[in-house]
Amino acid sequence: MIAIFKEIYKYRELLLTLALRDVKSRYKQSVLGITWALFVPLIAMLVFTFVFSKFVKVDTGGIPYPIFAYCGILPWTFFAASLNTSINSLVANGGLVTKIYFPREVFPLASIAASFVDFCIATLVLLGLMLFYHIHFHLTILLVIPILLLQIMLTAGLGFIFSMANLFFRDIRYLFQVIIPLWMFATPVVYPIPEKFRWLYIINPMAPIISSYRSLIIEGSLPDMTTFSISILISLTIFIIGALWFHRAEYLFAENI
């Protein structure tokens, strides 16, 4: 594992170049450009606010629903966008994969880095909502950094596994376009975890991650360490398996482009 990270670090400039290329190509010839990164989670928040305010009442524990929903939608949008693009990253960069050598891990990681730019921009809306609803900035907000790193680790592990699988079975990319929306509703993105089914959410590593964002940012409290520890274990396992499997299968990539 250490050797893999050293090699990726050696090609860090290539990783950043690919990430910047992805960001530029995503908004090329777009009128609003990169500001679309603000509108996607914002529109989703407005839609869910309308639905859960008018038709289905959700108990948010006194937290205004718009900021409750956005605090879940923001990291989920980052996760979904990162995973979708990283899964197709090897196929999309087939020309580079077959021509020159460098660690192929840079492709899924560059996709995640490009989506991280959108995440940072969309965070401005969250800050605006906190000011609007007079949500205090607690010191626990600093602990969002390890939560974010855990999410990136989980996304990278899944990206390694399924970008590789997508080379052999191109259906994987389309399958995940169905799985990710379903996964979202199986995760407490726009609703709190029901106490009755809390045990069921333990097997979903994104559930404690999303809940942790809310606890640290809005409530100023630490997340439930039992469920969060399980999320760490699952995410770390997926990352290690994904990284090792990806690295060992690299020699098969070029012939399957």
From 42, 219, 230, select the one nearest 141 (Cα to Cα): 219
Q: 3-state SS of 112-138?
A: HHHHHHHHHHHHHHHHHHHHHCCCCCC
- As a whole number, mean pLDDT of residues 124-141 equals 91
Which of 124-128, 163-167, 221-225 has the lowest average pLDDT?
A: 221-225
Q: Give the pLDDT band of residue 8 (cuts 50, 70, 90).
A: confident
Query: What span, in angstroms and rounded, lies between the C-alpha atoms of 115 and 117?
Result: 5
Contact in structure between 109 and 8 (CB atoms under 8 Å): yes
For residue 83, what are its two tokens? 């995973």
How much is the pTM?
A: 0.92
Whole-number mean pLDDT of the chain? 87
Encode pLDDT of 49-91 as tens digits.
888 777 777 778 888 999 999 999 999 999 999 999 999 998 8
Between 2-10 and 225-248, two packed helices, what is the crossing angle to 10 degrees?
70
- Given a cut of 80, whether residue 216 has pLDDT beyond it is yes
Encode pLDDT of 26-47 as tens digits.
777 665 667 777 778 888 888 8
Query: What span, in angstroms and rounded, lies between the C-alpha atoms of 255 and 257?
Result: 6
Which residues have a Cβ under 8 Å from the Cβ of 61 and sit 6 or more positions away?
192
Contact in structure between 154 and 240 (CB atoms under 8 Å): no
DSSP state of 32: S
Question: Could you tell me the residue ranges of all domains in the chain?
Answer: 2-256
